[in-house]
Structure 1
Amino acid sequence: MVTCPNCHHQNDDGNFCEKCGTRLTEGEPVVTGGASAASIEAARPNEHLEKAKNVSKLYFGYFMGLLKSPLAKGSQISEGHFVNGLITIILYSLILPLSMYAGIGEYGSYIDSPFLSIVIKPALTMMVFVFLISVFTFCAVKVVGLQVSFKSVVARFGALLVPFITIFALGLLMALFGIYEFVFVLALGLFGAIFTVPAIVVMSYTRNITTKFDPLYGIILTYVASFIVFALILRGFIMNMVDSLGIFSSPF
């Protein structure tokens, strides 16, 4: 067993921590046989690159595990996967506008700065929206009266988004091949996540626990807050599209 110097996680083996990705072997190579320090430095693998590879490998395993058993494994995720939860939220928020950009095709030429207007800004807005839903979900859990950390709720929320990322990925492929029904697939991935993930997260904490405040009301409050924010974001998006296309602008 090797203890991580950063998070103190007990690792069975390997050069990097399974939890945070910190390098576990800190020893410096000894210069022998006249080898120059520069040659040894060149031969030494890039630590940041190796760490990135290790993190991506760990995330892939995390993603595939949740894809196989989203409810069983997602309901047990703890705050140790907080970073993975954030990565999943970012991916979920990015694929939707990318699919719309791919689906618009040649019509994007009628929009000023189409990639900025259709991908970058909506992706950032989507990230804020999804993160706010996770915050509302945390509030619902706290209203019920449970002592749960914010990181734990966000980690579990992000984990349960994994199947919906797959749905979005399918929509993106359909958009790339010009199958215009991709819009319905994206709608399924969007509203399916909004309706199911907060409820599953709240119930995963309150299962078999008697509380004064029924969890159902916490879920309903989460939906109300989420759809208020969604309505505001949708209104802003529509107005932005109207301005970009120059609709209703005076010709004089």
Structure 2
Amino acid sequence: MVTCPNCHHQNDGGNFCEKCGTRLAEGEPVVVGGASAASVEATRPNEHLEKAKNVSKLYFGYFMSLLKSPLSKGNRIGEEHFVNGLITIILYSLILPLSMYVALRDYGSFMDSPFLTIVIKPFLTMGVFVFLMSVFTFCAVKVVGEHVSFKSAVARFGAILVPFIAIFALGLLMSLFGIYEFVFVLALGLFGAIFTVPAIVVMSYTRNSTSKFDPLYGIILTYVASFIVFGLILKGFIMNMIDTLGIFSSPF
């Protein structure tokens, strides 16, 4: 119901009063009960959605900035970018299994397997591995004797990882178009990150170090720990693929 501002007649709706013809005020409907509050609540923007949009915009700017100058800007990254570092690790961990899934989509044995087995489980495993690499890198910096926070080390690790996400993204595009050389691109993105990122992060903190423990040994320890974990993960992944595809299973 809408009340006429001139004669106070209760109108069912419309732009003009049914009794005196006065133009009715816009945007002031009188709604019975709690419907008015509900309608107002419905018109409010979703706070979580707006927050997600803002985070994505900020991350895109962060990503492009580091993609242009990964070393000069990455070496100055601090713990204020800890969340961006975690987002980078998540994206990096997701693209590799997704690329494999896309490339093998024409193979019936893979497509009969659940998405959970082919993508989600490897993604979670890869995420744990990459995060552990950042932890090993932090430990290497601490062993050298540098005072650095865990969040700062992870943030810088994620920053230096950005170019390798671009390499993985290229591999994903190649897999979409059926260019099977994408495997070499993914291998470059994987092993390039394993060998490059920890060393760059450690050296960025220890460049002017006066510690008796040489940073090179910290980097070597990081590699040893990372490849032990990588070997265990690779073994589990291969066994998972054998179970999924039924390789070596008896046809009888």
* TM-score after normalising by structure 1: 0.83
Whose Rg is larger? 2
Counterparts of 1:141-156 in structure 2, within 5 Å, are 141-156=141-156
Query: Structure 1 61/239 Cα, relative in aligned 2: closer, same or farther at 3 Å?
Result: same
**Percent identity of the aligned residues?**
84
Identify unmatched segments of 5+ residues in structure 1.
1-31
Cα offset, 1:34, TM superposition: 7.2
Q: Is the alpha carbon distance of 1:210 and 1:102 closer, same or farther for their aligned partners in structure 2, counting shifts above 3 Å?
A: same
1:145-182 alpha-carbon deviations (Å, 9 max, x no partner): 11111111001101111100000000000000000000
SS of corresponding position for 1:105: coil
Residue type of the alignment partner of 1:134: S
Match of 1:138 in 2: 138
Q: Who is 1:84 aligned against? A: 84
Are 1:133 and 1:226, in contact at CA under 8 Å, matched by a contact in 2? yes
**Normalised TM-score (structure 2):** 0.83
Given that 1:89 and 1:158 are in contact with CA atoms closer than 8 Å, whether structure 2 keeps it comes out as yes
1:118 corresponds to: 118
Q: Which residue of 2 aligns with 1:178?
A: 178
Report the counterpart of residue 230 of structure 1 in structure 2.
230
| CA distance in 1 between partners of 2:223 and 2:110 (Å) | 36
CA offset at residue 114 of structure 1? 4.3
Aligned to 2:52: 52
* Aligned partners of 2:85 and 2:156 also within 8 Å: yes
Change (3 A) 1:114 1:182: farther
Distance in 1 between residues matched to 2:237 and 2:181, nearest whole Å: 21
Amino acid at match of 1:154: V
8 Å CA contact 1:140–1:219 kept in 2: the answer is: yes
Residue equivalent to 2:99: 99
Cα displacement string for residues 6-39 of structure 1 (whole angstroms, at most 9, x for unaligned residues): xxxxxxxxxxxxxxxxxxxxxxxxxx96784444
Q: Deviation per CA, 1:162-216: give whole Å up to 9, x if none.
A: 1000000000000000000000000000000000000000000011221110000
Contact conserved, 2:95 with 2:172, CA < 8 A, in 1? yes
2:202 corresponds to which residue? 202
Q: Is 103-112 or 56-65 further displaced after alignment? A: 103-112
Name the Cα RMSD after superposition. Answer: 1.7
Q: Distance in 1 between matches of 2:43 and 2:250?
A: 65
Maintained 8 Å contact 2:146/2:209:
no
Amino acid at match of 1:93: S
Structure 2: which 5+ runs fail to align? 1-26, 31-35
Q: Distance in 1 between matches of 2:115 and 2:38?
A: 43
Aligned AA for 1:228?
Answer: I
CA distance in 1 between counterparts of 2:95 and 2:228 reads 23
1:69-124 Cα shifts (integer Å, max 9, x gaps): 11111111111111110010000000000000011122153565242222111100
Counterpart residue number, 1:16: none
Distance 1:207-1:43 versus aligned 2 partners, 3 A rule: same
Q: Are residues 39 and 115 of structure 1, via their aligned partners in 2, closer, same or farther at CA, if it must alter by over 3 Å?
A: closer
CA–CA distance in structure 1, aligned partners of residues 28 and 164 of structure 2 = 56
Distance of 1:209 and 1:144 partners within structure 2: 8
Please tell me whether the aligned partners of residues 111 and 245 of structure 1 are also in contact (alpha carbons under 8 angstroms). Answer: no
